Amino acid sequence: MAQRTTADQTMSRTELGAYLAELADEFDRGGEDIDVGVGNKTVTLHPPDDVSVSIDVVEQSSMLRGQRETVDVKLSWKPDRQ
């Protein structure tokens, strides 16, 4: 059974940079569980040393909606433990 925790919000570039830096620090510790902030919750995860990474960048231009750019970063792994 999958359990999903989702939060959609708007951040300034500075806030986003700080959030991503904090997430990077969690991964940099290595060999430990990581805590990921999702909205007003914290989720503890158990990544192994090697993590699959997928990055997708989309640049769209539409006469009606204007331009839009999207970056999706997906990290996935099988947990070291449950």
DSSP string, 1-35: ------------HHHHHHHHHHHHHHHHT-SS-EE
Q: Is pLDDT at 81 greater than 60 in this prediction?
A: yes
Burial 62-77, CB ≥16 within 10 A → b, else e: eeeeeeeeeeeeeeee
Classify residue 45 by burial, with Cβ atoms within 10 Å: 0-12, 13-18, 19+.
middle
Predicted confidence at residue 28, as pLDDT, reads 94
Q: Is pLDDT at 4 greater than 80 in this prediction?
A: yes
Predicted confidence at residue 63, as pLDDT, reads 76
Residue 47 neighbours by CB distance under 10 Å: 19
Residue in this structure with the two tokens 């940099």, named with its chain if needed = 28
In DSSP terms, which residues pair with 62 in a beta bridge? 66
Tens of pLDDT, residues 19-76: 999 999 999 987 789 999 999 999 999 999 999 999 999 999 887 778 999 999 999 9
Q: Is pLDDT at 82 greater than 60 in this prediction?
A: no
Residue in this structure with the two tokens 């990474």, named with its chain if needed = 53
